[in-house]
Structure 1
């Protein structure tokens, strides 16, 4: 069966779609078959990222490794089982289509609580939760005492992940490997960065996730989206000389894929 990677949280602007596209493209480049779904049915940023890539490759008559992106199929109301949710049926149908032809399926969730996101989390073998490196985004994971910065309790999102874990356990499935990715890390060891890091490490022990460094704030990520490109594509699209920032950003992508510890993915590439 395909290994399902879900990229989710309940906050927009944390880099979910950028993470999806770079991880998916990296895996295709490593020779894996990668299916892709976007559950944000309104914005579809991940879906548009792949569409931009296909359009750019057509214009430039290029061939680059690309994930197999699919739209959620429509399901007729009379085709639903009694009591079956239409969104559940659409997601199940999409997974059923992709599983026979995929080693990995990567799913981008919306930055809000939806039925599709809830179900997707229960399907995750690996859950990646990007967050901007601040206490504003930390609130996504837990409530914190403003005076002591001590964790008071899990957030609604963390409780949703806990419920997803319980559902998987009841179904006899392996536990979710949950990784919280710290995006937009500052280059300096700032006081706030240290406090966020300490709070994350404390919370990780309490509710069971791993912490990994993600992507720094770089202009290149915003520049690549209109063409659907990733940092791993630059040399093949005519960029012969990478600047130091681009080289560092590309290494961040490689480090993240390594840190996910996905089955069959070698430690370095």
Structure 2
């Protein structure tokens, strides 16, 4: 059975699709068969990323390791069994098809609360939650006091993950390995950064996640999207001398992959 990775956060702009594409491509480069689904049915950023990649490879005459991409199947409502939900069935069928041929299935969730997102979270073996290094984003996980030092109570997204964990427990399957990935970290030691670290450490033990390093804010991610490229593709497309920023970003990706501790995976790329 494929290991299901869900990249989820109910807030836009946290870097979910960037993390999704880089994790999926890194796994593909290591020889794993990776299938992907994009549940943001309106924007489809991950879907566009992979479509851009396919178009660029065709125009450049290149073959790059690339994750598979699947759409949710279109179903005739009349064909849905009595008591079944059409949207649930579309997602479960798509995942089942990828399960047959993939080592990993990565699902990129929308930045909103949807039925598909709730169902995907309950399917996840590994849940990656990208989080900008800001208390505005932290509020999605938990409410803090005015000083940003004490946890007041868990917030809506944490409650949704708790519900997904309950669903898995009732089904008798392994618990979710929840990893909060800190994105857009500042390069200098700032008071806000230190407060965020302390707040995450307190919350991690309370609601059951672990933290992993993410990506710093870099222009290169925005530049790569139109061609569907990742940091790992630069040398393959003729960039022979990587800048210090690009080298640092590649190391951030290695650190992230290593911290995820996925089955059968090393950060060897």
Short-chain TM bin? over 0.9
Matched, 1:79 2:92: no
Q: Is the 8 A contact 2:5 2:104 kept in 1?
A: yes
After TM superposition, give the deviation of residue 240 of structure 1 in Å: 0.3
SS in 2 for 1:264: coil
State the match for 2:16 in structure 1: 16
Matched, 1:262 2:262: yes
Which residues in structure 2 correspond to 1:128-143 (within 5 Å)?
128-143=128-143
Partner Cα distance (1:81, 1:201) in 2: 46
State the match for 1:121 in structure 2: 121
After TM superposition, give the deviation of residue 267 of structure 1 in Å: 5.3
After TM superposition, give the deviation of residue 254 of structure 1 in Å: 1.1
Partner Cα distance (2:148, 2:262) in 1: 36
Partner Cα distance (2:43, 2:267) in 1: 34
State the match for 2:183 in structure 1: 183
CA offsets per residue over residues 48-81 of structure 1, 9 Å max, x none?
A: 0000000000000100000000111111111212
SS in 2 for 1:246: helix
Which residues in structure 2 correspond to 1:36-185 (within 5 Å)?
36-147=36-147, 149-185=149-185
- Structure 1 pair 55/268, CA: closer, same or farther in 2 (3 Å)? closer
Q: Is the 8 A contact 1:36 1:68 kept in 2?
A: yes
Question: Which sections of structure 1, spanning at least 5 residues, go unmatched?
Answer: none
State the match for 1:25 in structure 2: 25
Q: Is the 8 A contact 1:36 1:105 kept in 2?
A: yes
SS in 2 for 1:252: helix
State the match for 2:243 in structure 1: 243
After TM superposition, give the deviation of residue 148 of structure 1 in Å: 5.5
- Structure 1 pair 148/231, CA: closer, same or farther in 2 (3 Å)? closer
SS in 1 for 2:229: coil
Partner Cα distance (2:148, 2:111) in 1: 29
* Structure 1 runs of 4+ with >4 Å offset: none
After TM superposition, give the deviation of residue 147 of structure 1 in Å: 3.5
Q: Is the 8 A contact 2:14 2:132 kept in 1?
A: yes
After TM superposition, give the deviation of residue 266 of structure 1 in Å: 2.3
State the match for 1:226 in structure 2: 226
After TM superposition, give the deviation of residue 83 of structure 1 in Å: 2.1
SS in 1 for 2:234: helix
SS in 2 for 1:101: coil
Deviates more, 1:52-61 or 1:145-154: 145-154
- Structure 1 pair 148/57, CA: closer, same or farther in 2 (3 Å)? closer
SS in 2 for 1:181: strand
- Structure 1 pair 113/203, CA: closer, same or farther in 2 (3 Å)? same
How many residues are aligned here?
A: 269
Partner Cα distance (1:268, 1:193) in 2: 30
